[in-house]
Amino acid sequence: MRNKIVSFIVLIFLISTAKLAGQKNINSPYARFNLGVLNTPGTFRSLAMGGISIATRDNNTITFTNPASYTSLDTSSFVFDMGLDLSSLTIKDAENSYSSTDMNFRHILMGFPLSKKIYAATGIVPYSNGYYYISETITKNNPEWNPITGDYTSVHKGSGSITTFFAGTGIEITKNLSAGLNFNLLFGSLERLNQFEFADYQTSFHQSSTENFKISGFNFDYGIQYTENIKKDYFLTTGASFTSSKYYKSDFEILKERYSVYEYSPYSPDTLSHYSSTSNDSTMLPATLRFGITAGKKDKFVAGFDFIYTNWNNACVHGSNAEMTNTYTYMLGFEYIPDKYSNTSFLRRIEYRLGAHLSNNYLVLNEVNIKEYGISGGFAVRLRNSLSKATLFFDYTNREGNISKGIHDESIFSAGVSLNLYDFWFVKRKYD
């Protein structure tokens, strides 16, 4: 049985690694700026509870946002978690509405003990997504029409993504106090195209601008958690984690061309300008400070609150000049389990979750800082006679712009399912 699980994990890891480095094709125009649309980090258990994770502890959840939590894994266990999610985004402005949907792998995580007091975890998670597609045709009836240029079609298209690979360890300092460290490797690329084609296609020169941004480098997360038993089975846990600001290696290239239907040199395509730069100090990602507190009864219920602050004012992105602002995120979450270890009642061993979150986006467009708020929920179904389980979550988030200033609203519905495999892999055999 164990060999089958190992083969399954290896197969899934190899198949999905390439997909995780891909992109989620939901069409958000906010992906045009800086690093694109940032991913909300967390397992599906965390996301169903509004995103809280800094002070949560669970023996079969790999809470990578605070590496100190790895010490909550069992001393003889191996945990594997793979998630798949579906997102549907709807854009609304004063006149129009547009929707897009896409499915993708969300994460691959593994956790296991190294000794009785030292634990390890590793995984691949998305950092940001750069996909968008915007097309507009200007005709004589359009207020933007100019008789000099005539009718034309503009296309703005983005692709690519940025991914994080992490490997970390948690150490149990005392019975109640744990600390942890994550090594984070960030890598990926974003491509953006701006293209203008005139209606008089046969006799006109058209124009295109292609941008390519690549980033790579590493950083560290530092985490700490303290748990106090209030009375029998009741607990209070506090936690904090910190990521320092860091310069990353980045490449930026922009190529502007004009072209026509006649493809012959030197007239088409004709390079108007070309710029390429490699830098170690032109892209800096900001410091992030996270605090969390949870309280509850072991294996019965837990309630918690997280606060996250990120200093985007001091960040910079090679080749981008869109304004950024500091972000403040508030999260609330709750989990209830009627009877975690029941083997007679399917409904009583279901884990129920609910949460909410409120934050501001890191982008400032037309002097408007986009606001984000949403609700989430979900549940987990534990397999009979096992600690393995299937976890489901849903989230509805609204990005609120300012339509009067040309900043549209977005509504995002996300749903996901993950498979948590739990096995005792470090128990010495008494019999061969």
pLDDT along the chain (432 residues), means of 10: 47 48 74 94 96 95 96 90 92 82 90 94 95 86 76 89 96 96 97 87 81 97 96 94 97 90 70 92 96 96 97 95 95 94 83 97 94 96 84 96 89 94 66 51
Residue 258's pLDDT is 86
Q: What DSSP designation does 195 have? A: E
Helices (H), 136-283: none
pTM (two decimals): 0.90
| Cα–Cα distance measured from residue 374 to residue 394, given in angstroms and rounded to the nearest whole number | 11
CB 51 within 8 A of CB 376: yes
H/E stretch holding 306 reads strand 301-310
Q: How many CB atoms lie within 10 A of CB 360?
A: 18
Tokens of 211: 């941008």
| Cα–Cα distance measured from residue 58 to residue 79, given in angstroms and rounded to the nearest whole number | 11
